[in-house]
Chain A
Amino acid sequence: MTWKQRLGSAIPYILLTILTIPVFVGYLWIIISTFSGRTYGLVPVDSQGNFGGLTLENWSFLWEDPNIWFVTLNTLLLSVLLTVGVVIISALAGYALSRISFPGRKTFLAGTLILHAFPSVTLLISIYFVLRWISNLPVLGKGLPIIGGFGYNTVGGVALVMVSLSLPLGIWLMKGFFDNVSWDMERAALIDGCSRLRVWWEIMLPSIKPGIAALSIFTFITGWGAFLIPYTFITDQEKSTLAAYLNSLMGETAPVNYSRVAAVGLFQLIPVLFFFIFTQEYLLSIFSGGSKGGT
């Protein structure tokens, strides 16, 4: 390789490096500031303005505020409910839309696409009324253990709303993955003795594993970072989700401790970060839109 070729192959890396520096510096600042009283640029300083002043004070919420653990579990619960709901419904609906011709199929597909285009903010008020109505149902409304129910001011209710808002995208994604599975394989399975449901379960689902993984991860992360819906439909911010909890730290009464906000933010970010590191390969397959391997 001549030096020219070497330079040529290095240029993309150089460009990428330059482009990622601001993002990288941003995260670095967050990490540093959570361990400092104050910072001057990226340098932690003490009250006299000298280097130093490192502290764990900003992380004290972990052991001083019992709400944080409650909120974390709540967020986890919401994310899991959301993921399970979206994946199951999308996988069933996507299969039907991909493989079975029934009246209204085209309309349904177009309809979900339009729904997906609606910003959810516009629906907040109407959703509020729906949740209030569900609240009045016996047991289902607000009488269930753990998730509270599916009505207003319950984790289940928030999950229900978020599932419905995520379904259009999920269904389209799953339909896309099913479209890529060969008809012959499905026919072979039908001839080999499967019922339609069994084909779905034993042949189709395993063939689109990367798609299911991608959708699960994507949905889980959406749930983990959810703010607007939990913030709106759970009245007590300190018992809602991490994002809402974070928001409550920036109340109007006291001066905002940005180092603490950064610490809570980082705390929320850690699981997502790990998630991404281990699953980025699957996430990429959402964009390439096909199942890997196969025959």
Chain B
Amino acid sequence: MKVLLENLSKHFGSVVAVDGVTLDIRDSEFVAFLGPSGCGKTTTLLMVAGIYKPTTGIVKFDERVVNHLAPRDRKIGMVFQSYALYPHMTVYQNLTFPMRLSKVPKSEMEARAKEAADILGIGALMDRRPGQLSGGQQQRVALGRALAKQPDLLLFDEPLSNLDARLRLSMRGEIKRLQMELGITSIYVTHDQVEAMTMADRIAVIREGKLQAYATSDELYDQPRTLFIAGFVGNPPMNLIEVEVLQEGDSYRARRNGFDLQLSEARGHKAAGRGKVILGIRPEDVSIGDRGLRGEVYVVEPLGRDDLLDVHVGDASVHVLADPSLHLKIGDQVQLGLNVDKVQFFDPESEQSLLWA
């Protein structure tokens, strides 16, 4: 099923929780809503579910406007962060509750519940109550309940954030695999950008109720259109340094106090002659070598596979991912090579990208 949100807004009194969001979701697509806490992700999702009435704008399922359809008539399954299982029912009763309400014949109900339980590995828990299950098991039951009713649209509201890191990793893969196999159109709300990047076909980045970008994870990562996206997507986050880009003959240089970088022409000329601009470079695109910018190691954070260094170049601070075998220590003098084909430029006023606008 296709979903279309058109100019969707939600006000709570004077609070504008969602502000004119427009986006389309293709059939069988997996879309993530990504944004910091309080940006309006849940509110948007609940409007799609029909729990909240939009203040303005419309929600369309396929070609049909569903604004006035009650949640129960929308054929959706939803998984909540708090699991929201019914504590007084057994796992089996939880799984079959939606089907019982829509009067599915008993034999089919049993078959579907069993199928969902088998897929999710909760077949042995059918007679238990939610209170007797671990968090991971409860989350599987919640997922099973949403799947067993065979919805046209699946909604997830941060379903994994109460699980431990390892379980989160395995559930992430499992949800993605199930979604692909079943081909159910899905919206997945998260504030964890790794989750969004790994699972979603397209990511809607939301900030203060507004849609900032709606693109694939590669595009968000390599071609961030705003400063906010550049800082929000990617871990460790992109270095953002205020510089001035000058044209000297055929060459372009980014300069600030103690910082002088030769740029490629393709990227350099878009940022040149504008006064102060913000240069962005990801920590993995900076390497330690014997040429380049001189700096001093200020902080070393071992991350296991890499060391995350904070290197001071002049009065600017640059985060670098370095090979731990270099054994760098605080106070060491190093030279940084920046991959000039990966630098980004942003206008400090409008916060828009100068490269991809």
Contact = CB atoms under 8 A, between A and B. Distances in A.
Interface of A: 182, 184-185, 187-195, 198, 203, 206-207, 209, 293-295
A194 B84 contact: no
B337 interface: no
A80 to B, nearest CB: 25
Contacts of B46: 187
B84 A190 contact: no
A122 B98 CA distance: 52
A209 B88 CA distance: 10
Cβ-closest 10 pairs across A and B:
A193-B101, A184-B84, A192-B98, A188-B84, A206-B88, A193-B72, A184-B80, A294-B87, A190-B71, A185-B84
Given A190-B72, A193-B72, A295 B85 contact: yes
B72 A195 contact: yes
Interface in B67-88: 70-72, 74, 76-78, 80-88
The listed residue with most A CB atoms (<10 A of its CB), out of B46, B50, B84, is B84
The listed residue with most B CB atoms (<10 A of its CB), out of A190, A192, A203, A206, is A192
Given A187-B49, A190-B72, A295 B84 contact: yes
Given A189-B97, A192-B145, 20 more contacts: A184-B80, A184-B84, A185-B82, A185-B84, A188-B78, A188-B80, A190-B70, A190-B72, A191-B49, A191-B51, A192-B149, A194-B72, A194-B101, A198-B101, A207-B88, A293-B131, A295-B85, A295-B87, A295-B130, A295-B138
Nearest to B131: A293
Contacts of A184: 80-84
The listed residue with most B CB atoms (<10 A of its CB), out of A194, A209, A293, A295, is A295
Contacts of A194: 72, 101
B355 to A, nearest CB: 42
B80 A187 contact: yes
A53 to B, nearest CB: 56
A207 B51 CA distance: 21
A293 B70 CA distance: 30
B102 interface: yes
Interface of B: 46, 49-51, 70-72, 74, 76-78, 80-88, 97-98, 101-102, 130-131, 138, 145, 149
B130 A191 contact: no
Contacts of A206: 86, 88
A198 B98 CA distance: 12
A185 B86 contact: yes
A68 to B, nearest CB: 42
B87 A192 contact: no
A195 B70 CA distance: 9
B312 to A, nearest CB: 47
Contacts of B101: 192-194, 198
B87 A193 contact: no
18 contacts: A182-B82, A184-B81, A184-B84, A189-B86, A190-B50, A190-B72, A191-B51, A191-B77, A192-B72, A192-B149, A194-B72, A198-B101, A207-B86, A207-B87, A294-B87, A295-B83, A295-B85, A295-B131
Contacts of B88: 206-207, 209
A190 B80 CA distance: 13
A295 B102 contact: no
Contacts of B72: 190-195
A30 B250 CA distance: 109
Contact of B84 (A187, A195, A209, A293): A187
Contacts of B71: 187, 190-191
A206 B85 CA distance: 13
A206 B130 CA distance: 14
B76 A191 contact: yes
A293 B87 contact: yes
A294 B138 CA distance: 12
